[in-house]
Structure 1
């Protein structure tokens, strides 16, 4: 690029080119900016910077996220002895850090994070930089060991960031003289194999009074979470202790934590009850994560006081009792709620204030009853996971702003889940699907027996036409996408969703592009509402393993983006609509084990499917199935759901009938022989008499000589007759 105009600005002291699409090479010697003190090039695209040493007056340099990998730049920076701030983060610098950096003794800020720097942790480089206030070495490939004694003279240090390290590396904090010379405000030591001999929380933290951000996650630390962390640091805003081995109870002081915005102690072994006053003590909490522990008893009602809460994750514990009743309805800013894999019971509360809610995960509990109006105000819902509960009834109409988001709706393993006129048929008791069509062959549906475990009678439901109002399943470019600015909240959460015959986890930003509807493995009956064709932006539709019937709606051809369409193991009849051949993105199509007939489409994506997609439909024909479609040959009669046959399966009813018929033929033949032949009739009579006499002598203790005499008399009478 041409920057000749800068040559005339010899007295320029401040230059900010950040956020522009500038690219190519840049020579500072040609620009003659000897008086420049501040240079900001972050978020540009320069691939080469030369003659950096020409900026002799430079005090602040930011090359954050420009993607440069020219390590010669680092050597040039070593000549800038007046530098106070140096930000080289989010680039591709590789190899060891040049030891000449130790000559930059005026540095107050040094950020080398998120590069490909390797070698041992540069302790010898850090020791002379005693004026450092902030030092970040995280997100690199450093190895070896690091001792906090290297920071023994850094009295101005306020922020330190390191890790994660490989398994052979570690950080030792216990050789630092106490009390330490610094008062930290931010400390990030995630994944640093901290104090690998004792696995204890660093002792010097006991002397820190100004801490605002503390992250000691993924260090296998043991013991109880110390209460003095909050008692000593009353201004603490972020406390992350996840992925360790902490045990014991979690104690909270009423007078502490009023500034705490994020608390994450997930994936430990903390036990006991969650303090009932947690919502009062931490009233400023925005992100709360207690998942993956051994908490028990009821969820505290004081969570209703977390009026600023955006994310609450209490999953993978042993919480019992009802689902927060109406306390959660007060949290109008709540965006993420995960109470999955607990032992929660009772109905869902009816809420209309949860207008910000985007993610609801309540699966694997014992929640019962209808969904009621809990979601009536959820305009931005993206994922709703209610699987493996005892829910029943219907899904209320869900509203959204122009359909800005997509909904992933896994509800498998519940009881029908859709209200209809059949909801009062308490005596309906159909056999489990696995017994009907051998669904045990399908690992995706092995949980179908969960129906019988939940209730003795399994109500049969139909799909309501209200699904057409679920505009959350649609997208519109006219509405702006929601931007997430949460640091440690739900950005790493995932949803398990089955598509293309595979169950995958979807997490992060991919949820903005994945939408689908999974109603498989329930007991839904009736027809597919034609309104399903209005869900034009879903990528997966799974209605398999139900009792659905009727014809396949031709309006499904309007699902222009669908990639996976599974209608297998139902009772659909009629022909496969030829209009479906227009689905250009369809890669998985399965209608096996239905009652379909007629010609199979063989154009478009349908030309890539084989006979396994149509198995169990004897009425289908066409070149793909190598079965002639003779118009004069009658199609096989459609059979009901009781006559479905699976290849290789035994017809139990036919087996019992044939066995009974064979048995009756033998009995009748024996009776006829006795009636026709007097000889065999007398022989049968004498054998019966002998058997009775033998039993009599046996039980009455008679001698064997009497038995022999009886047998002689029997044989003499037979010969005489």
Structure 2
């Protein structure tokens, strides 16, 4: 044994050996000629000072040491530096928990260094990259290990570099091309930035390249096409731009895997990608690819198995050649603009298809019959298209492997009758989506299925929810997701027994009545009973049933009584919505102590008392909506603990307090209207995201301070148009749609409207009906993204500042019932979107400026200003009056106060009749209602598109969806 050169006691297949008798010292103390020691997966359970000393003192000439997964710990002892001849050091999967010691610089003969998953931290010495003999370096899965890749000034020996899931950063040096022997490079899940160097195309031996999930920018180097040995290329989840046409891969390429997902690559898709003879997986999803996908007339023998082009902007018909790819098993084209019918004549050559996802496009026509013959198909997703016709469920009987079927939101009707009772329909189906499929009853075939995910929402199903629906499934795979929302259901058939693992239950927007049904405790995550007719009080022990729930909405029912304190036991609550009921009593103080609570909506009830001052440090509240109750007292000071607060709505209560300056700087919406707030509005903290501030109908006084206006950065236009089209919502989980939609009621163009979706572009200031005095600050002109300004019914004096002309997005300006003087600024003529301008009952003089729509407004908007003249007033101006001097006039020619304008009366009457007919049709026809709701986002996007607005100066726009569902 003394002459033994190599010892390998490694345990394979994770079958650990434990080195006790003999221990490590006894094992190697006499092996003086040993040059190689392999103890992988051998349980040593030794600290660094022990095993480092034993090995270095007993085996000073050791060249190869492998102690992977040996349960040894760090930090690495300096005694290890005695191993000057070490060429291979492998310590992967141990808890070393240390920085790389400086003595590693002594291991200049290293060819292999692997320290993966060792809890290493601190900076990695750059000099190790410069070791001339180093061929393999693996530092992966050390999240706290940082460093950069240095310049390589000479030809290196590297064949493999793995830095995945570390904290390495910086850019890739151009000199990486000197690593001419490099064949494997994995730098994924790091923080690398900058452009990919063109010199990367000189790595002629490179066969595996993974640079995914970093922060690389710029175009993909065209030189990558020179890498003939490259087989695996993954660049997904970076910020890469440019066109794919910069890379031309010829027929000699060996690529079998290409993943460019989640970048910003634009333009079309080159045909050359589909001609790569060895390519098996092509993933281009979540980019900005656009245009038509051209047909490929001549295909070489294709090995393509996965083609994912989802979440792009591709359009036109689906190319026929996709259906000639005989080995294709997964085709994902969802979230594009593909249109027309699906041509499937030659699709029959493909018998390997397992996943077919065409959802969220603009495809039309009947569902191709050949889809029903794809016997290997496991997932068929066709939702959110314009497919039409009647689908007979019996046609699916050949798809016995089908696990997921999504037909939701098309123009389909479903024939659920089964004439052959011996047929087994969907024996392996787990996910079934039939939303908006014109169903008027529960499909009987579901009762015999093993479905765990069932969506029958937005149909016309009436009557009772059958008790058998809670029993579908097989063994532990019982129903866990059920969405029956937006139907006409009345009751739950009794007795009913909710399945034990029902995670999601969505029964909103039906006509369900009686007491609240309570699902089994501990397992429900999402429960929505809103917009029904549930009545009586909330069960006092409800919190015990929802101890694991994240989302709970009982909004818009007829519930009464007090809010149970047992809600405080639901410590995982993120969203609690009890709004629009008849609840009374106070707010249980412990509810506000729930640490994870992000949304609390108790609005429009009869709640009394004060708002509890119990919000904890680290409060997670994003939205607090207590509007239209009978709350008094103050705004709790502990609300300052809620650093993420975006929406505070306490409008229409009896709160008696000063302005709440302590609120989060993240605030977007603040509604204090119709309370008893008082004092000045002057804060020394800025609210850079504030977009709606409504403090109307209070007792605020003093001045409008310019510094307040200048601190509201959210009302200053930005150039991020995509951000402007977002809505203000709160993400609570991946369950159901995962978003809680904030809403607010505002006075817009003289109408009191409920905005059930608040676009981040919608900017409002409403200070009306207070006691503000002094002038209007010129700083208001800096808030150039405002849509609504209402300063009416105050005691403001002075001139209307010319800077108001900078509010080029403004659509409603109300300065009525003040004491403003001087002329109307000519700059108002430039507000081309202005559809409401009310300057009545001030002390304005002179001619009303001419141009654009100012002469089209009702004369009543200028009433009460005895010195004004010109259209639309029935009073002409003489030369003196044009100069702004106070005009002479006769009372009977100035203002006919009591005249009835019958044209306005009849116009209003016609509008009311038409609107009533429309709303009646909308309520009675759910299919129409859902289609209208589905188009709302597109309409809003078009309305808020600045380029679209510039093309249509004369139109009157609606900024938000104002129809409240249910």
Normalised by the length of structure 2, the TM-score is: 0.55
How far 1:624 sits from its partner (Å)? 6.0
1:500 alignment counterpart: 749
How far 1:240 sits from its partner (Å)? 0.4
Query: 3-state SS of the aligned residue for 1:203?
Result: helix
Within 5 Å, give how 1:195-214 maps onto structure 2: 196=462, 198-201=463-466, 203-208=468-473, 209=476, 210-214=478-482
Query: 3-state SS of the aligned residue for 1:344?
Result: strand
- In proportion to residue count, which structure has more helix? 1
2:433 alignment counterpart: 161
2:865 alignment counterpart: 617
Kept in 2: contact 1:398–1:471 (CA 8 A): no
How far 1:292 sits from its partner (Å)? 1.4
Within 5 Å, give how 1:622-701 maps onto structure 2: 625=873, 626-628=876-878, 630=880, 635=886, 647-648=897-898
Q: Structure 1 residues 32, 376: CA separation in 2 closer, same or farther (over 3 Å shift)?
A: same
Does 1:219 find its partner at 2:487?
yes
Match of 1:418 among 654, 658, 678: 678
- Distance across 1 between alignment mates of 2:385 and 2:496: 35
Match of 1:294 among 554, 558, 561: 558
1:592-620, CA deviations, whole angstroms, 9 ceiling, x for partnerless residues? 12233455444677566564331111133
Does 1:550 find its partner at 2:797?
yes
- Distance across 1 between alignment mates of 2:372 and 2:280: 25
Kept in 2: contact 1:399–1:470 (CA 8 A): no
Within 5 Å, give how 1:189-268 maps onto structure 2: 189-194=456-461, 196=462, 198-201=463-466, 203-208=468-473, 209=476, 210-224=478-492, 229-230=497-498, 232-234=499-501, 236-252=502-518, 256-268=520-532
Match of 2:316 among 28, 40, 47: 47
- Distance across 1 between alignment mates of 2:676 and 2:865: 25
1:655 alignment counterpart: none
- Distance across 1 between alignment mates of 2:884 and 2:453: 80
2:602 alignment counterpart: 339
2:350 alignment counterpart: 80
1:129 alignment counterpart: 399
1:468-501, CA deviations, whole angstroms, 9 ceiling, x for partnerless residues? 4763753575999688655546555533322233
How far 1:188 sits from its partner (Å)? 0.6
Query: 3-state SS of the aligned residue for 1:64?
Result: coil
**Stretch of structure 1 that moved more, 202-211 or 526-535:** 526-535
- Distance across 1 between alignment mates of 2:507 and 2:425: 28
How far 1:111 sits from its partner (Å)? 0.9
Does 1:474 find its partner at 2:741?
no
Kept in 1: contact 2:342–2:368 (CA 8 A): no
How far 1:366 sits from its partner (Å)? 1.4
- Distance across 2 between alignment mates of 1:529 and 1:356: 37
Within 5 Å, give how 1:532-543 maps onto structure 2: 532=780, 535-543=783-791
How far 1:394 sits from its partner (Å)? 2.7
CA RMSD of aligned residues (A): 3.9
Q: Structure 1 residues 33, 116: CA separation in 2 closer, same or farther (over 3 Å shift)?
A: farther
1:528-566, CA deviations, whole angstroms, 9 ceiling, x for partnerless residues? 56365564432211133x242422452655545433210
Q: Structure 1 residues 646, 229: CA separation in 2 closer, same or farther (over 3 Å shift)?
A: farther
Query: 3-state SS of the aligned residue for 1:612?
Result: helix
1:397 alignment counterpart: 661
Q: Structure 1 residues 349, 81: CA separation in 2 closer, same or farther (over 3 Å shift)?
A: same
Normalised by the length of structure 1, the TM-score is: 0.71
| Higher radius of gyration, 1 or 2 | 1
Q: Structure 1 residues 225, 611: CA separation in 2 closer, same or farther (over 3 Å shift)?
A: same
Kept in 2: contact 1:261–1:286 (CA 8 A): yes
Q: Structure 1 residues 556, 204: CA separation in 2 closer, same or farther (over 3 Å shift)?
A: closer
1:277-334, CA deviations, whole angstroms, 9 ceiling, x for partnerless residues? 4444423333221111122222233434545444322111111112343522434551
**Stretch of structure 1 that moved more, 353-362 or 297-306:** 353-362
Kept in 2: contact 1:560–1:585 (CA 8 A): yes
- Distance across 2 between alignment mates of 1:355 and 1:365: 23
Match of 1:37 among 302, 305, 324: 305
**Stretch of structure 1 that moved more, 115-124 or 498-507:** 498-507
Q: Structure 1 residues 573, 379: CA separation in 2 closer, same or farther (over 3 Å shift)?
A: farther
Q: Structure 1 residues 272, 501: CA separation in 2 closer, same or farther (over 3 Å shift)?
A: closer
How far 1:26 sits from its partner (Å)? 3.4
Kept in 2: contact 1:263–1:289 (CA 8 A): yes
- In proportion to residue count, which structure has more strand? 2
1:172 alignment counterpart: 442
Match of 1:272 among 526, 536, 542: 536
**Stretch of structure 1 that moved more, 72-81 or 133-142:** 72-81
Q: Structure 1 residues 563, 400: CA separation in 2 closer, same or farther (over 3 Å shift)?
A: farther
How far 1:238 sits from its partner (Å)? 1.4
Q: Structure 1 residues 636, 108: CA separation in 2 closer, same or farther (over 3 Å shift)?
A: same
Kept in 1: contact 2:798–2:819 (CA 8 A): no
Q: Structure 1 residues 158, 624: CA separation in 2 closer, same or farther (over 3 Å shift)?
A: closer
How far 1:123 sits from its partner (Å)? 1.2
- Distance across 2 between alignment mates of 1:320 and 1:378: 26
1:690 alignment counterpart: none
Kept in 2: contact 1:112–1:136 (CA 8 A): yes
How far 1:567 sits from its partner (Å)? 1.3
Q: Which has the higher contact order (CA 8 A, sep 6+)?
A: 1
- Distance across 1 between alignment mates of 2:552 and 2:327: 47
Kept in 2: contact 1:598–1:629 (CA 8 A): no
1:370 alignment counterpart: 634
- Distance across 2 between alignment mates of 1:151 and 1:204: 21
How far 1:205 sits from its partner (Å)? 2.4
Q: Structure 1 residues 462, 363: CA separation in 2 closer, same or farther (over 3 Å shift)?
A: farther
Kept in 1: contact 2:717–2:785 (CA 8 A): no
Does 1:592 find its partner at 2:840?
yes
- Distance across 2 between alignment mates of 1:573 and 1:646: 23
Kept in 2: contact 1:347–1:367 (CA 8 A): yes
- Distance across 2 between alignment mates of 1:237 and 1:543: 49
Q: Structure 1 residues 519, 79: CA separation in 2 closer, same or farther (over 3 Å shift)?
A: farther
**Stretch of structure 1 that moved more, 610-619 or 109-118:** 610-619
**Stretch of structure 1 that moved more, 150-159 or 56-65:** 150-159
Q: Structure 1 residues 609, 70: CA separation in 2 closer, same or farther (over 3 Å shift)?
A: closer
- Distance across 2 between alignment mates of 1:110 and 1:39: 15
Match of 1:184 among 447, 451, 455: 451
Figure out how many residues of one structure are paired with residues of the other and give that number. 589
Match of 2:388 among 103, 115, 118: 118
2:104 alignment counterpart: none
- Distance across 2 between alignment mates of 1:302 and 1:629: 76
- Distance across 2 between alignment mates of 1:116 and 1:152: 29
- Distance across 2 between alignment mates of 1:37 and 1:420: 68
Kept in 2: contact 1:406–1:472 (CA 8 A): no
- Distance across 2 between alignment mates of 1:56 and 1:227: 52
